[in-house]
Structure 1
Amino acid sequence: MKAYEIINYLENYFPLELQMDFDCCGLQIGNRNKEIKKVYIALNADNETLQACIEQDCQMLITHHPFLLEKIKNMDVNEHQGYFISLAMRHDIVVYSLHTCLDRGKNGISMNDWLVNQLGVHGIECYDHYEVGKKAILNQPMEGNTFIKKVKETFHLEHVKYSKNTNKTIEKIAICGGSAADDLEILADQVDCYITGDSKYRHAKYAIDHDCLLIDPGHHLEVIFEKELQKLLDNLPIDTQIHESKDYFNYE
C-alpha cells in the first residue's frame, strides 16, 4: 500500500480537523507516495522508536505523540531533533502521528473509549465540550481500595498514586488518558472517581475536599494506543509491529 492510503484510512476514524489548536497531527516526515509493506506502531516519536522501526525493516512509523509537537530550533544532527529528522530521511521512513484527533475520535473509537471500556462500564458519555474525556458507570460498584487494585490489574501497572479518600463506594467514574488533572474541577461533583495522569499536590487536596477519589496512573497509560491501533490496521494488507513502549519514568 501507499502511505497516503494508510493515512486516508486512519483519518476516516480520526480526521485531522478534530485536533486541538496547539497540536500537530498528521504527516511529520516523509513521502506520502512511499510504498509501505510494514508499519511500526509506538506511543512516542523519539530516537528509540525510530531506530527500532528501521531495525524491524518497517517503512512507516505511526505514533500517538507527534514529533513536531516540540518546537524545532535547529537541524543540528548532533542534537536529538536533527538526528531524528536526518535518520528518518536517510532511511526513507514515513513518520505519521495521531494525537488529539485520536483523543477525540468519533463513533466510540478514541483513546478514552479504549481506556474506559477496559474497566467494565456502561452509559459512556463525554464529560467535556472538547469530547475527549469520558465518564461512565461501573457494571459492578466497588469499594475505593478494591477499585484502585482493579485499575492496576486492568492496565498492568505496578504503581499508581491516589488521593487518600479511598473509604467510599465507587460507581460513577471518569477517565482521561495523558494529562488532564485540571478537569477534576468540573468532575468532582459528578463522579466518585477520576482517573488521569500528571496530577499535582493541589489536585489531591481538591479531590479530598470534594470527596472524589483521584487515581493517577501516569501519562504512560496511553500506551493502550499501540495495541488498539494495531487492531484497526489489521484490516489492511500490511504487516504491523508494536513497540511495547516503556514509561519514560522509573519507579522504585
Structure 2
Amino acid sequence: MQIKEIISYLESWAPPSLQESYDNSGLLIGEKDTEVSEVLITLDITEDVIDEAIDTSANLIIAHHPFIFKGIKRIGNTHWIDRCIRKAIKHDISIYAIHTNLDNVHTGVNKKIAEKIGLENLSILQPKNETLSKITVFIPSENKQEVLDAMFEAGAGNIGNYDHCSFQVAGTGTFRGNEDSNPTIGKQGEVEEVSETRAEVLVPNYRLGAVLAAMHRAHPYEEVAHFVTQLSNTNQEVGSGMIGELPEAMESEAFLSYLKERMQLKMIRHTDIVNQSIKKVAICGGSGSFLLGAAQRKKADIFITGDFKYHDFFEANKEIIIADIGHYESEVFTKELIQDALTKNFTKFAFRLSQVDTNPIKYL
C-alpha cells in the first residue's frame, strides 16, 4: 500500500478544503508514492515521537496537529522543529497532519468527545456558511433515476439526517444539433423535443468535482445542460464544536466528577456552578473560547473546551459553566478516532498508536 491510498481515504473523510485559513494540514514531509511499512498515529509531532517511529520501523506518522505552521527560511539544529524535520528526512519518515479539517466534520474530533461523555441528539455548535452548492441538471425523463443515483453516490443530495434529496420538475427540452454534433436522440439539423426532468440537488463544495464527473458519466447526452449555483446556506454537517444532551440530567458537581473520569483528567478549571444540574452540553476540542457565545445562545448548561484565558472566564456572565479541561486532554482521544477509522477501511493493515505523552504541560 502506498501513502496516497491512506491520504485519499483520510481526505474523503476530512477534506483539506475544510481546514481553517491559518492551518497547514496535509502531507508535510514525504512523497505520496512511497510504500507504507508501518503507520504511527499521534496527537503531536515531537522528537520523541519520531524516535518511536524509528524504533517501530514506521515510515508514516499521522498527526492531528501540524508541527510546521509558518514559513521556514533555514533548517538548523537549534530549534525542535528543525530537529524534527532533519530526523524525519534522514530516516525517510513521512508526516501527514489532519487538523482543523478533522475538527470541522461532524464525524470528527468533537464527535469522539461527545461519545466519551455519552451525549445524545448531537449537532454542530457553530455550522459554517458558504460550503454548499446547488446543481441544476436537465435529464431525459427515462434516464433521470440513473443520473441522480450516480450523483447521490458521488456525494450529492444529503440534508441533515436525509439522503437522496432532490427537487424535480417535468418539462420539455428542445435542441438542434449542428453538423459536428452526434446527438443521442434525433438527427443533425433537426429540432427535437424531448420529455425532460429538471433536477436540483445540494452538494458540498468539496464534492462538487466528483458529483459533476459522475453526472457527466451517467448522462446520455453529448452535451449536458446544467448549471451550478453557489449557496450561502448554513451547512449543518460542517463547522466548529458540537452540542448535545445527556440521557438524564446530572447534578453539576457530580457531572464534573464524571467528566474527570470519562476524559481521564487530572484537573478541571471551571467557573462558578451557576447551574445546579447539567443536561445540555457544548464541547470543542482544543482551543474553543471563540465558541462561548454560540454555547450561550444555544442555552448550554456547560461548555467544555481548552485554553481559556483568565479574562475570558468572566464572559460566562453567570449564564453558563465553563470547564477548561486542557488542550491536550480534550483531544488525546483523537488518536483512537483516526486509528478506528483507518482500521475499518484498511482491514489487513495495523495502525499503531503512539505511546509518547506529547503534552507539554505538566502537573504537580
TM-score (norm 2): 0.66
Whole-angstrom distance in 1 between the partners of 2:270 and 2:70: 30
1:225 is aligned to 334
2:29 is aligned to 29
User: Residues 202 and 79 of structure 1: is their aligned pair in 2 closer, same or farther, counting only changes over 3 Å?
Assistant: closer
CA displacement at 1:182 relative to structure 2: 2.7
Secondary structure of 1:74's aligned partner: coil
1:40 is aligned to 40
Equivalent position to 1:242, from 353, 357, 361: 353
Gaps of 5+ in 1: none
Opposite residue 128 of structure 1, the aligned amino acid is Q
2:151 is aligned to none
Secondary structure of 1:174's aligned partner: strand
What are the superposed Cα offsets for residues 64-111 of structure 1, whole Å, 9 maximum, x if unpaired?
000222442421134322221111111111100000010012xx4110
Is the Cα–Cα contact under 8 Å of residues 223 and 245 in structure 1 kept in the other structure? no
Moved over 6 A (4+): none
Is the Cα–Cα contact under 8 Å of residues 252 and 275 in structure 2 kept in the other structure? yes
1:57 is aligned to 57
1:6 is aligned to 6
Opposite residue 248 of structure 1, the aligned amino acid is P
What are the superposed Cα offsets for residues 32-72 of structure 1, whole Å, 9 maximum, x if unpaired?
11110210000002212111111111010000000222442
> How much identity, in percent, do the aligned residues show?
29
CA displacement at 1:122 relative to structure 2: 1.5
Whole-angstrom distance in 2 between the partners of 1:195 and 1:245: 25
Secondary structure of 1:129's aligned partner: strand
Equivalent position to 1:202, from 303, 311, 331: 311
| Equivalence map 1:137-156=2 (5 Å) | 137-156=245-264
Whole-angstrom distance in 2 between the partners of 1:70 and 1:198: 21
Equivalent position to 2:273, from 155, 165, 176: 165
Once the two structures are overlaid, the 10-residue window that deviates more, 170-179 or 186-195, is 186-195
Structure (1 or 2) with the greater strand fraction: 2
Once the two structures are overlaid, the 10-residue window that deviates more, 9-18 or 163-172, is 163-172
Once the two structures are overlaid, the 10-residue window that deviates more, 126-135 or 160-169, is 160-169
Is the Cα–Cα contact under 8 Å of residues 3 and 34 in structure 1 kept in the other structure? yes
TM-score (norm 1): 0.94
Whole-angstrom distance in 2 between the partners of 1:245 and 1:82: 20
Whole-angstrom distance in 2 between the partners of 1:229 and 1:91: 24
Opposite residue 281 of structure 2, the aligned amino acid is I
2:186 is aligned to none
Whole-angstrom distance in 2 between the partners of 1:61 and 1:84: 12
Whole-angstrom distance in 1 between the partners of 2:23 and 2:110: 18
1:133 is aligned to 241
User: Residues 168 and 245 of structure 1: is their aligned pair in 2 closer, same or farther, counting only changes over 3 Å?
Assistant: farther
Secondary structure of 2:89's aligned partner: helix
Opposite residue 118 of structure 1, the aligned amino acid is K
User: Residues 245 and 152 of structure 1: is their aligned pair in 2 closer, same or farther, counting only changes over 3 Å?
Assistant: farther
Gaps of 5+ in 2: 129-238
